[in-house]
Amino acid sequence: MERALYGPGGFYRRELPRNHFSTSAQTPVFAEAVARLAGEVDEALGRPATFDVVDVGAGNGELLGHLASLLDERAHLTAVELRPKPKDLPQRISWRADVPSGVTGLVIACELLDNVPCDAAVVDGEGEVRYEEVDEVGTTRPGDPIEDADAKWLAEWWPIHQVGERAEIGRPREAKWRELAECIDAGTVLAIDYGHTRADRPETGTIVGFRDGRGVGPVPDGTCDITAHVAVDAIPCDRARTQREALRELGLPIDRPPLARAYRDPTGYAVELARASASARLTDRSGLGAHWWMSTSKPGGR
């Protein structure tokens, strides 16, 4: 997964996420909600002289691009991304490959954790839990027995016993979360992602590939995205809620405009209708609305 996504010629070294799948962060209305959240965090910190907004795994920078027109100059906007900075992004957005330290403000990571490479485990024919190996055409087989730290994680978060049962070992996602949480001096860290909790873990795991907008086999040859849902309850955050709940609290969804407006102001009506449609998509219970918002806040010294 590491090599296929981030190694030389890997999927994310070449491809733009938006050409293969759509995410909340690509949607302008989502940025409006994030701007409101940034405002709340800023208020809670007592409106410091500079307020950082750091987007980790920023893709093509769409979210920060939208935020640049919503937040005042006091907001320092930083993308953390392995890809180069797109040429058309506003100058005020800085771009770097590593997570900064000493952040005061909001750190956000949309659909990053599901792309943090993780190992899969499978119960073999003898009932032993082993790592699952995969070859370059996607054929899998049981490999070495699971090491202690991973066995401990599985026992606590995703126990598997029946022959053929699979699990994805979430330790690297926890480690990435801790790295994000540690980079803030004061403020809020928020990761948004697909996920499951112990009550609804899928029996055969979730690893899947994506290419050109469609689910494909997770073949690790660099031609597709490879993703696995996040074990949300294993992430040591203070709060986890669905995107639907979170966006409602922040003032979405946006209502459909009254039809009468279409006669008075057809352009305005079309714009508002597009916003309402985007907002409905972001809060759809069976789609993006089911994503998890995992967050932790550190108070600032006022």
Ligand X SMILES: C[S@@+](CC[C@H](N)C(=O)[O-])C[C@H]1O[C@@H](n2cnc3c(N)ncnc32)[C@H](O)[C@@H]1O
235 binds ligand X (CB under 6 A): no
CB of 142 to ligand X, least distance (A): 28
Rule CB under 6 A: is residue 115 a binding residue for ligand X? yes
Q: Would you count residue 82 as binding ligand X (CB under 6 A)?
A: yes
Distances (CA, A) of 124 to 128, 143, 220: 5, 9, 22
Alpha-carbon span 108 to 55, nearest angstrom:
5
Of the candidates 25, 33, 68, 75, which one interacts with ligand X according to CB under 6 A? 25
Residue 115's nearest CA partner among 208, 180, 18, 219 is 208
Segment contacting ligand X by CB under 6 A, of 19-27, 130-138, 215-223, 286-294: 19-27
Pick between residue 78 and residue 115 the one whose CB is nearest to ligand X: 115
DSSP output for 78-106: EEE-SSPPPTTS-TTEEEESS--SSEEEE
Contact range with ligand X by CB under 6 A, out of 21-29, 143-151, 230-238, 245-253: 21-29
Choices 33-41, 57-65, 215-223, 238-246 (CB under 6 A): range interacting with ligand X: 57-65
Q: Identify the H or E element spanning 166.
A: strand 166-168
User: What is the C-alpha separation between 213 and 20, in angstroms, rounded?
Assistant: 5
Verify binding: residue 190, ligand X, rule CB under 6 A: no
Q: What are the tokens at 52?
A: 């950082």
Binding site for ligand X (CB under 6 A): 12, 17, 23, 25-26, 57-59, 80-83, 110-112, 115
